[in-house]
């Protein structure tokens, strides 16, 4: 009986650790994607000639 309860405790700890890692990866991934998305749009606008180099540098500094 003791091994059974020990196994249940270990299973619960593994599930909790998995959920914690999953939540952290989602949160960090969203922040990286969100910040990178704005910079990628800015880079595309610069390459397409929609904004000047001066505007690009200023907006990039604001984003960072």
User: If we measure between CA atoms, which residue out of 18, 28, 43, 26 comes closest to residue 59?
Assistant: 43
Coil/strand/helix, residue 50: coil
Gap between the Cα atoms of 57 and 45, Å rounded: 12
**pLDDT at residue 1, rounded to an integer:** 65
The tokens of 5 are what?
Answer: 């309860």
Q: Give the residue extent of every domain in the chain.
A: 19-63
CA dist 15 to 8, 10, 30, 63, Å? 11, 9, 22, 37
**pLDDT at residue 31, rounded to an integer:** 60
**pLDDT at residue 4, rounded to an integer:** 87
What tens digit of pLDDT does each residue of 5-54 get? 898 999 999 999 999 988 888 877 766 555 567 888 899 999 999 999 99
Question: 63: pLDDT confidence band, cut at 50, 70 and 90?
Answer: confident
Total-model pTM: 0.45
């Amino acid at each position: 009986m003791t091994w059974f309860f020990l196994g249940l405790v270990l299973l619960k700890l593994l599930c909790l650790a998995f959920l914690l890692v999953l939540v952290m990866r989602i949160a960090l991934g969203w922040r990286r994607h969100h910040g990178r998305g704005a910079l990628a749009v800015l880079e595309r606008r610069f390459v397409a000639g929609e904004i000047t180099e001066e505007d690009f540098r200023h907006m990039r500094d604001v984003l960072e």
